[in-house]
């Protein structure tokens, strides 16, 4: 596929390769049409962009465009007729076009032998169309009232009109005579063409009532031998078009709607979206927009992004193309913002997943945009979006609080509630992806969401929060230090703040033989204020430095000590449920200079400094700081 930055949303051309691998469906439809009795009408059902036109193109190629094809192909796009016409003229022009197409083919094949039959069809058709046009003009003059509409219906669909205009039945008979004569002449000269194959596209893009009337006209005029109709229309469109006739669809009148459809359509063919093989299709799309490289992308990557598609936009080719265009733009944006930084496979998978959420579930993306740190979702945060409400007794059991809050958020929308578990699965898969790389989703999401925000069509951004960090730390220290002093006990003798307050607060806990330092920082980002407390210290200086931190610990025989450190951190995480890990303890190892180091921070998110300065918060926060100092005091690496 040619390299590009955007994918054009158009049907497959007649000879273009089928990337969705629905060959079996295509061949079955072709064989059915090739061997069916006539007249017959086939409905290709499916939502916009599901591939109806592409499938019709491919059927037309096989059955109409080959040198020895057995069908005359006639293609009509109803939507194009609707662009510059009123409703009555749409009907006229559609029928006139189909008849003119058959007349043109007949003239081309046997101009003299079918001359009189062609003239008969032309005269009857002209008389009818002229009569309909008069009614349309009369309707326009009287501002198109209901009685005028009934007059048009009478002209079109009854055969006992008192008007001198030739009726529809006469037209159908004349038209049938022409078609049969043409086919008989073909037999005489060994011409393989034995029927007409009419492709009626985009019926689901015009007004439903006009679409239904078009179906009725086709049934009344073209229900003749040697004619096959392939119609791109969904049953739901027919239902909408029949509301004025049968009322709203319900259990009592459902049979009437279905009977109408079944009378006109002999074979309803549902586009096999759920059978589409998306992997190959999306792989080619992403390669073409330079999001991935063909010789570097793994099958695992393609399987993962295909899973995200199934959980969000679905297998509709139009939706996948739109998704690819968004991915392409974001990829270009990242390249221009980070000229020296290449995205790795993990980051690309997260970008893809978030883009799927952005397109399929924009309200959820807005929620993530407001606070991309899921562990910091709390009652205060969710109440900005959802009023307090009683959740049904069938609330699923969740181990993580953010899932409960997301369920509450999705419960306000039938669409989101219906797709809740798909949304949960996308986010859970993102968790799994980053954990394989020894990272946490909370560290990856904010950066990527900030990039994707520019392509968010319905973003409702909350007011950004800006604070004077130094002033905030100074105010916090004035309140916090006295509390810490009042709470310390043996083995600590004293606690004091050390160093400057430019980037962090450093609290030094003194014992008889050593000092223990706990660090506190405040910052505002992603529409939240974050306050963090934690340890950042040297474990030891390896005699033989390895670039693998865990290997350094193992070689030193300290793996059991390190595992105990992780267990202690996890206990604190359970104890202080309002605080969350900034990073997972096992991922806090790093090497600096000749030292093997480890850092671990707990964080709390809020939208107000007043919450941080409150007595309730300071009481819990001071307890956390003291527990961290105790933990550090008992950690011993040889």
Residue 175 lies inside a defined structural domain of this protein: yes
User: In the numeric block, which tokens belong to residue 436?
Assistant: 């394989």
Count H helices and E strands in the chain, helices first.
26, 12
Strand order across the 40-45 sheet: 71-77, 195-201, 227-232, 40-45, 267-270
H helix runs in 374-419, sequence order: 379-382, 401-410, 414-418
Q: Are residues 484 and 374 in the same domain?
A: no
pLDDT at 140: 36
Q: Are the CB atoms for 376 and 446 separated by under 8 Å?
A: no
166: how many CB neighbours lie within 10 A of its CB?
Answer: 17
Angle at which helices 345-360 and 299-310 cross, to 10°: 10
Residue 387 lies inside a defined structural domain of this protein: yes
Residue 224 lies inside a defined structural domain of this protein: yes
Residue 14 lies inside a defined structural domain of this protein: no
Residue 93 DSSP label: H
How far is CA 373 from its chain centroid? 22
Collapsing DSSP to helix, strand or coil, 15 comes out as: coil
Q: Are residues 198 and 63 in the same domain?
A: yes
Query: CA quadruple 201, 134, 171, 150: dihedral positive or negative?
Result: positive
pLDDT at 131: 55
Q: Are the CB atoms for 532 and 582 separated by under 8 Å?
A: yes
Residue 15 lies inside a defined structural domain of this protein: no
Q: Model's pTM, two decimal places?
A: 0.59
Collapsing DSSP to helix, strand or coil, 495 comes out as: strand
Q: Are residues 394 and 485 in the same domain?
A: no
Q: Are residues 115 and 148 in the same domain?
A: yes
What share of the chain has pLDDT > 70, as a percent? Answer: 83
pLDDT at 380: 80
- Tell me, what CATH number does 513's domain have? 3.30.1460
| Structural domain harbouring 48 | 23-273
Q: Are residues 109 and 220 in the same domain?
A: yes
Collapsing DSSP to helix, strand or coil, 599 comes out as: strand
Distances (CA, A) of 353 to 97, 186, 284, 289, 426: 46, 57, 18, 17, 7
Spans of the chain below 70 pLDDT:
1-22, 48-50, 82-88, 129-167, 272-278, 337-341, 389-395, 453-464, 526, 638
Q: Are residues 499 and 438 in the same domain?
A: no
pLDDT at 38: 87
Q: Are residues 151 and 27 in the same domain?
A: yes
H helix runs in 36-86, sequence order: 52-63, 78-82
CA angle 113/114/116 to nearest 5° reads 110
pLDDT at 160: 46
pLDDT at 638: 64
Half-sphere exposure of 592 (CA within 13 A, CB side): 10
How far is CA 95 from its chain centroid? 38
Q: Are residues 67 and 191 in the same domain?
A: yes
Residue 10 lies inside a defined structural domain of this protein: no
Q: Are residues 69 and 127 in the same domain?
A: yes
Residue 434 lies inside a defined structural domain of this protein: yes
Q: Are residues 497 and 577 in the same domain?
A: yes
Listed residues 455, 490, 510: the one ending a domain = 455
Listed residues 421, 455, 489: the one ending a domain = 455
Specify the number of domains making up the chain: 3
Q: Are residues 215 and 312 in the same domain?
A: no
Is residue 333 packed enough to be buried (19+ CB in 10 Å), middle (13-18) or exposed (0-12)? middle
> Of all helices (H) and strands (E), which one includes residue 239?
helix 235-241
Residue 516 lies inside a defined structural domain of this protein: yes
How far is CA 262 from its chain centroid? 33
For residue 278, give the nearest of 325, 327, 315, 328 by alpha carbon: 315
Listed residues 239, 254, 273: the one ending a domain = 273
Q: Are residues 75 and 206 in the same domain?
A: yes
DSSP secondary structure string for all residues of 428-464: HHHHHHHHHTT--HHHHHHHHHHHHGGG-TT--PPPP
């Amino acid at each position: 596929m040619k390299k590009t930055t955007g994918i054009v949303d158009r049907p497959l051309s007649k000879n273009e390769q089928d990337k969705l691998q629905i060959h079996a469906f295509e061949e079955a439809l072709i064989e059915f049409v090739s061997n069916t009795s006539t007249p017959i009408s086939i409905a290709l059902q499916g939502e916009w962009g599901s591939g109806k036109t592409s499938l019709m193109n491919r059927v037309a190629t096989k059955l109409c465009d080959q040198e020895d094809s057995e069908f005359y192909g006639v293609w009509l796009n109803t939507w194009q007729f609707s662009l510059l016409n009123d409703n009555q003229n749409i009907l006229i022009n559609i029928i006139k076009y189909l008849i003119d197409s058959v007349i043109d083919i007949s003239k081309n094949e046997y101009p003299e032998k079918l001359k009189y039959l062609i003239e008969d069809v032309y005269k009857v058709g002209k008389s009818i169309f002229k009569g309909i046009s008069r009614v349309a003009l009369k309707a326009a003059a009287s501002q198109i009232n209901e009685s005028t509409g009934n007059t048009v219906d009478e002209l079109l669909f009854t055969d006992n009109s008192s008007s001198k205009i030739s009726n529809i039945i006469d037209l159908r008979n004349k038209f049938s005579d022409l078609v049969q004569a043409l086919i008989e002449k073909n037999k005489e000269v060994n011409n393989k063409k034995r029927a007409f194959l009419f492709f009626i596209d985009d019926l689901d893009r015009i007004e439903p009532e006009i679409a239904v009337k078009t179906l009725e006209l086709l049934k009344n005029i073209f229900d003749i031998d040697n004619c096959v109709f392939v119609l791109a229309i969904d049953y739901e469109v027919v239902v909408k078009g029949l509301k004025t006739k049968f009322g709203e669809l319900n259990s009592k009148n459902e049979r009437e709607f279905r009977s109408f459809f079944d009378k006109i359509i002999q074979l309803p063919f549902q586009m096999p979206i759920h059978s589409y093989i998306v992997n190959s299709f999306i792989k080619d799309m992403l390669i073409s927009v330079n999001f991935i490289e063909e010789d570097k992308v793994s099958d695992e990557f393609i399987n993962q992004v295909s899973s995200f598609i199934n959980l969000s936009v679905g297998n509709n080719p139009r939706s996948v193309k739109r998704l690819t265009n968004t991915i392409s733009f974001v990829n270009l944006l990242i390249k221009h913002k980070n000229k020296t930084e290449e995205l790795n496979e993990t980051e690309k998978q997260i970008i893809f997943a978030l883009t799927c959420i952005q397109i399929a579930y924009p309200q959820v993306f807005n929620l993530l945009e407001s606070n991309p740190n899921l562990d910091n979702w709390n009652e205060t945060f969710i109440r900005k979006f959802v009023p307090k409400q009683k959740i049904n007794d069938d609330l699923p059991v969740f181990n993580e609080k953010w899932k409960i809050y997301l369920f509450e958020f999705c419960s306000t929308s039938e669409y989101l509630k219906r797709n809740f578990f798909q949304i949960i699965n996308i986010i859970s898969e993102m968790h799994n992806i980053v954990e394989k790389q020894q990272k946490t989703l909370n560290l990856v999401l904010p950066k990527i969401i900030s990039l994707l925000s520019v392509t968010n069509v319905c973003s409702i951004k909350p007011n950004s929060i800006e604070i004077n960090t130094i002033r905030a730390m100074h105010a916090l220290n004035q309140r916090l230090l006295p509390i810490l002093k009042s709470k310390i006990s043996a083995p600590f003798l004293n606690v004091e703040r050390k160093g400057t307050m430019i980037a962090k607060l450093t609290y030094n806990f003194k014992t008889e033989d050593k000092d223990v330092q706990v660090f506190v920082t405040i910052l505002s980002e992603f529409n939240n204020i974050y306050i963090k407390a934690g340890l950042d210290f040297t474990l030891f200086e390896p005699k033989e430095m390895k670039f693998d931190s865990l290997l350094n610990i193992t070689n030193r025989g300290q793996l059991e000590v390190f595992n105990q450190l992780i267990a202690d951190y996890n206990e604190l995480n359970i104890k202080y449920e309002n605080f969350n890990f900034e990073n997972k303890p096992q991922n806090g190892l790093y090497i600096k200079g000749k030292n093997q180091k480890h850092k671990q921070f707990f964080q709390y998110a809020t939208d107000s400094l007043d919450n941080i300065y409150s007595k309730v918060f300071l009481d819990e926060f001071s307890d956390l700081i003291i527990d961290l100092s105790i933990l550090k005091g008992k950690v011993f690496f040889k």
